[in-house]
Amino acid sequence: MIDAGFGANIKAMSLAEQAFLKDQAQQRLARAEAAGKRPLVPGDLVFYWRRQVAGREKERGFTIGSFVGPARVLAVETRVDDEGRLRPGSCVWLHRAGRLIKAAPEQLRAATDRERAIEELKGPVEIPWTITSLASHPHKKTYDDITSEIPDDMQWDEAAQQPVLSHRIRGKKSCICAHVDDFLFGGAPGDKVHDHLMEQIKQHFSWGSWESSSFTQCGVTVTQHSDFSITLDQQEFVSDLQEIKLSRDRSRQVTAETSDYEKHQLRAVLGALSWFTGQTGFQFSSDVGILLSSVSTSQVETILRTNKLIRDVKDNPGELRIHAFPDAKRLELVCWADAAWANRPDGKSSTEGIVIGFSSPALLEGKIAPVSLMYWRSGKIDRTCRSPACAETKGVVNGEDDLYHLRYLWSEMLLPKERLVGCHPDTVVVNASGTLVTDSKNLWDKLSKEIFVIKGAEKRSDLEALSLKESQDNSQLQLRWVHSDAMLANSLTKPSEKWQILLFQKMKYHWRIVHDSNMVSARKRKAEGIDPMHSEVKG
């Protein structure tokens, strides 16, 4: 047997992996048990549950809650039973960000190791007053009493699944973006800090010209609207594109091979198009990628297809919309990743499609929400994939990579310097919550299992998928499954399947993560006449 060594290796790795995961799961259980039994003591780091009634949820008539924190236990007014457990009716005094909170033990959960580690990075927190002086003040209400808000089991579970942001976003007031010698300034109108900074900047430097509302930067027209949203377009650029000229004779020779000069023309015009698809024309990404791949083996028919694409682009150049999100307390980064297996001109290469956007937390609750596209990509997967599952895994893993990068960038913008310099990337990234959406059942099932087994025909894909599992733990990555008609990235893998992205544009750049506990396929949904965007109510 030639590959005996390799096979034995995989077996050993698989065994080790299983043992490791089993052990990890056991430790977690043990910790949870210990945390449940151990009474709270002053100094413990905890999170407390609060009922949250955001504007929109109120209308639909249900409330959601979440854990907030972390808070430090200051004192416990004990009513302890024989085994040392807190009995209902006890109260726990918490300290968080200079506030004193009176809470019930039923609404507390211990902080995880990770949360503790992050809190420690912030350094010691001074507690300025003694608890007695605060709590015993005769008239003033010096603390928040939240003991009336006690979650039931369902609410507790729901909240436990939500990631907790362990810091408050301290609003940054002003921002500058620079490209070589062009600068973009942003800030809330009337904001004192921002206005003052702008005043100083204008005093200290002499500038060529100032533009606002609508201008061109790096060949892209940027327009800000009255609701503060921004659109980017390349109207002018697109209208300058020229079709490749073909004589009537030549255009009839569809199957004829292209000449060197024609290949040159193809590369030239596709190069221009790829600039467009990279800046604003995301809906044409897959067309350009596939055509660029077929230049070397192109026929006259390829030129005709390219010319058709140019006409399509001119007919509907589209725009890139950046929403304003005036009400969102935080933004979610969501990545849709998909792949098409062996669909490239060479007959064996696969295509990945990745779309990452900002949205409001409402999107994760299954609602239709605005999505601002931040990053997208349609391209050849570097390795040859032997099965659709392999391609799918590759695409999703690459998508997670890009998502991680964007989460880091976003965290950099939000966090103060002390929380960035010298910190492990994971502890930085957890401040920007990230969600990865896939339409692969294969991958979803694999990752849903507590024990991850590496076996069968796709050992290598399994190993790569493992990195996603790791990211779920290390960077609090959330995973979702949707049927393929609700998969935004599908349109970036095949030129012929544009309906998702067209629907997205028709919905004015809004989307939904369709929730379906039965995981019904898109084909079956269609047969049963279910709208692609129809979603179960979560929970």
Partner DNA sequence: AAATTGCGCAGTGATGTGGT
Partner DNA sequence: ACCACATCACTGCGCAATTT
* Binding residues vs DNA (CB under 7 A): 2-3, 6, 180-182, 217-219, 237, 264, 267-269, 271-272, 274-275, 278, 289, 292-293, 295-297, 344-346, 348-349, 377, 379-380, 382-384, 386
Of 48 and 404, which CB lies nearer to DNA in the complex structure?
Answer: 404
Is the CB of 273 or the CB of 436 nearer to DNA?
A: 273
Q: Which is nearer to DNA, 92 or 295 (CB)?
A: 295
Shortest Å distance, C-beta 292 to DNA: 4
Query: Strand 220-224's sheet: what is its strand order?
Result: 214-217, 220-224, 230-233, 320-322
Nearest alpha carbon to residue 302 among 314, 311, 290, 312: 290
Tokens at residue 356, please? 């990452």
Nearer to DNA, 280 or 500 (CB): 280
Cα dihedral across residues 309, 310, 315, 320: positive or negative: positive
8 A C-beta contact, residue 164 and residue 69: yes
Query: In Å, what is the CA distance from 430 to each residue of 65, 161, 338, 475?
Result: 20, 15, 24, 5
Least separation in angstroms between CB 207 and DNA = 13
CB of 412 to DNA, least distance (A): 18
Residue 210, C-beta contacts closer than 8 angstroms, at least 6 positions apart: none
Q: How far is the CB of 47 from DNA (least distance, A)?
A: 39
If the CB atoms of residues 109 and 344 are measured against DNA, the closer one turns out to be 344
Nearer to DNA among residue 107 and residue 306 (C-beta)? 306
Smallest separation (angstroms) from DNA to the CB of 493: 11
The least distance separating DNA from the CB of residue 274, rounded to whole angstroms, comes to 6
Q: How far is the CB of 246 from DNA (least distance, A)?
A: 18
**Residue with tokens 């990628």, as numbered in its chain:** 289
Helices (H), 366-458: 388-414, 425-429, 441-448
Q: In Å, what is the CA distance from 163 to each residue of 225, 431, 444, 473, 478?
A: 33, 10, 20, 11, 9
Of 269 and 447, which has the nearer Cβ to DNA? Answer: 269
Q: Where are the alpha helices (DSSP H) in 61-191?
A: 113-121, 131-135, 153-161
Distance between CA atoms of 454 and 458, rounded to whole angstroms? Answer: 8
Instruction: State the minimum distance, in angstroms, from the CB of residue 376 to DNA.
Output: 10
With respect to DNA, which residue has the nearer C-beta, 33 or 382? Answer: 382
Distance between CA atoms of residues 371 and 503, nearest Å: 13
Would you say 154 or 180 has its CB closer to DNA? 180
* Inter-residue long-range contacts of 383-390, CB under 8 Å, 24+ positions, other chains counted: 384/348, 384/349, 384/350, 385/339, 385/341, 385/342, 385/350, 386/457, 387/341, 387/457, 387/458, 388/339, 388/341, 389/440, 389/442, 389/443, 389/458, 389/461, 390/341, 390/458, 390/460, 390/461
Task: Work out how close the CB of 290 gets to DNA at its nearest, in angstroms, rounded to a whole number.
Answer: 8
